Structure 1
């Protein structure tokens, strides 16, 4: 889906560990192991310390394995993640966290049926685990079951009306179903709850596809404001400006896009289009040639160079 899994799944660990663990106070390694702000490397290292020093037992040890499994998942070390999550389940078969996170591993492996089965078990064990519904919705979407995905996102939102990613994911599915009104409503709620780069780009894309170009440009402008060194806002707004005939504005946006992502073939191609419209034929030729260097089969760049007599 459009929304990355690692954004959606931010640990079932915290809520699940809280119910599974009552034994000890922990220590610095434990705190880093389960902290939602820890990087995957920090999490794996800290949880390994907890596990190797045998400082925890029972539910808290299961929590450490689940947390380290999450860290390995984010590092895409999927077999290591499965090993840890299997161990967490052996230690506590009633613990929803490893089933949810094991579902994510199988989703990354594109085994969506197995992923759904894992999410089913996580939900059976903890019906309040909002992210398990949202994660299951992602797997159902990946299987082509759009209505089933929407039902799961509905369930996630019912259990937690502030869960921004469920709105984002449901909005994505509505957009794929060409239900513009519902897609815009969901993306607008996502922006209200968590106004980040992707939230504005996703809503901007719906405005773009429904030919509300001024609104699309405004959303891409907000994406630029939030993340000015991310190329995505610049190149999306650049495209809208070219659609609207603002070739100078489009050129300026693609200059910025290429500053932050010089490997994007379409930015080179589209900047070439802007330069060609502005009469900078030499610059256009250079940009189209760069686009073809990155993608030798790009037909639009080939056609432009042929029109310019440079092919």
Structure 2
């Protein structure tokens, strides 16, 4: 069933749409406002598998937010309804056009999909390639440490923002893929959650039954590979899914033709995307660590000159208290 794509000024319940950011195989991500606050809104496409997948995402994120260890590269939820908490309502439901839609709200992140950036600038600066992949590895490794698999990492689901000082990319992985516990992949598997060009070969062959952490190594490495060569490793825009699945399993990837300075990075990308899982890096963390050796850690943001929002609130209340004391003293 085709999704309904909302435009500027349209409403989903009490959420006003600003613009659609990206339509994926399973959901639509919007920039929106919720009671005058900017948010990201993610709405699952109609269909039970898409709804249940989004529900799993929201419950996972809410649980990890409560634990206090969710990395900044992953979505931080807002309550789905005013006057509630994330723990109470990590996701919401609403009717639109006769369909029951599942959605959740995310803390706003200013950025563009990596896929759109690569269309405008197919070959990013090599340091940016490295830092984007290191940040992506941090996000995927967190899921794996929590014994969950993504299995559908691709440039469509990565928002990227470039800070000015320092000139460094920051990412938000706004989609958690299949978000399945390691041993439950056959239970939750359905092929339409991601384009087959970004599935590991072992998933294209046996519909997810042989998924492992090395499957996430593959799709993470494929994003790195695409940034290095300036095009998808398996061109897919004009091909049907069945043909793409066959290409992923049987055909070589697009050639890598960047300068010699990328030789070690290219080796990392080639190993991570090997058709044989046992040749790949054992974990996504190993990919990230190999890239850190080449590029260093992602530079920290420059400290803000302005006090934090909480500090400003404390200062305002302190000034109001002083003003009240002075007023009382004058009246006395």
Does TM, scored on the shorter chain, surpass 0.5?
Answer: no
**TM-score of the pair, normalised by structure 2:** 0.26
More strand by share: 2
Higher relative contact order (CA 8 A, sep 6+): 2
Q: Which has the higher helix share?
A: 1
> Could you tell me the TM-score, scaled by structure 1's length?
0.28
